[in-house]
Amino acid sequence: LELAFATAALCHDLGHTAFSHVLEQILLPKSFRTHEDCTLALLEEGEIGSRIREIGCDLDQVVQLLKGVHWNDGLCKLLSGHVDVDRWDYLMRDAASAGVGYGNYDLDWMINSLSLHLDSGRQPRLLLEVQRGLVAVEQFFSARRSMYQQVYYHATVRGAGRLLRAVFERASDPERPEVYKTDAQEGTPECIHSFLQGERPTLEEFLNTDDTTILTAIKRWRVSAKDPVLKYLARCLLERRLYKEIQIGSLDWETASDFVKKETKNALGQRKSEGLPSIDGGNLQDLDYFVLVDDCEFKADASFEGVLFDVGDSAPMTFEDVEKDAGQELVKGRRNFSRKRLFVAPDIASSVKTALREMEKK
């Protein structure tokens, strides 16, 4: 079981596409909804599965653990839950790399206060010792929210990711002129050809598509795409001229985004910058590649679904019961948030921004 758990932990992200979450909705093979589906498919059908069996590991248990249906529910929660090993790992690593101490947390005390406990039905459940560990878990939750708020959902990060997605949306856009479609494929790795034709990749194509594949295609488009919109997007991305966020200030979203789109259309029509492609100003579909909308959402956790709590004297209880007993919120930081942002092409962002600010004043 230990081997199965370790294997499951190591393999749980196998199904990620190139550039993971950013291109996940675009590059996943048909029939897969998320990268988790893809992970399972790779384990069950791919070479990796047979290799895992070869080392004497029970692949069925690995799959059950990853699906969250294994009889040892505590281990399932530890693989995918509010205090799972994946989050332990990426938060700590990203906080160190980003140089933000507020993304770090006390892993030692958290681990020390977690154990497996047989519940009344003799099922192993994840158990947290409240007195020693709740404070560490609370810090962990805060760290996670801080990382999303300040790092993962930082405007620059999201803007770059959104632009990358826009490149591939354009490269596979069924509505662009036919002549651009065949051109987009040329000189790019074969494994993304079917995707560029508007289809979902096969599992084999998916496996052949890595970050290098994606970058090779963008580099090609940057230099010689016939489609001016695709070329513009690729250039902006590779030359680090990222789309700029336009803050809506006191305006409501509808008003602001309509105005920004109108202004962008004008600016494109007048070719306000030499860098801009000459496109058909009346083509609203094209316009959408110059004003990118980005949505992101953070769901705080503190429900501890499936975790039991050891409060010292009595039998382990659920978090809801612990809170009810205490008569107050025990874990702070349960603050969800979401961000909806407008990113505008760098060559026109500043004029659009000025116009919006003018309009806001009126």
Residues that bind a copy of itself (CB under 8 A): 96, 100-102, 104-109, 132, 135-136, 138-139, 142-143, 146, 149-150, 189, 211-213, 215-216, 219, 249, 313, 328-329, 332-333, 335
**Residue 265 and residue 262: Cα distance in Å, rounded?**
5
34 vs 212 by CB, closer to a copy of itself: 212
**Residue 133 and residue 219: Cα distance in Å, rounded?**
50
Contact residues for 242 (Cβ-Cβ < 8 A; gap 6+)? 156, 159, 160, 163, 236, 343, 346
**Residue 155 and residue 145: Cα distance in Å, rounded?**
16
Query: What is the smallest separation between the CB atom of 309 and a copy of itself, expressed in angstroms?
Result: 17
147 vs 267 by CB, closer to a copy of itself: 147
Query: What is the smallest separation between the CB atom of 332 and a copy of itself, expressed in angstroms?
Result: 4
54 vs 178 by CB, closer to a copy of itself: 54
**Residue 331 and residue 334: Cα distance in Å, rounded?**
7
Q: Give the CA distances from residue 51 to residues 11, 36, 47, 58, 267, in Å, rounded to whole numbers and listed in that order.
A: 12, 19, 6, 11, 57
Q: Which helix (H) or strand (E) holds 237?
A: helix 228-238
177 vs 249 by CB, closer to a copy of itself: 249
Instruction: Please name which of 143, 125, 35, 17 lies closest in space to residue 74, comparing C-alpha atoms.
Output: 125
- Cα Dmax for the chain: 74
116 vs 251 by CB, closer to a copy of itself: 251
Query: What is the smallest separation between the CB atom of 186 and a copy of itself, expressed in angstroms?
Result: 12
Query: What is the smallest separation between the CB atom of 235 and a copy of itself, expressed in angstroms?
Result: 14
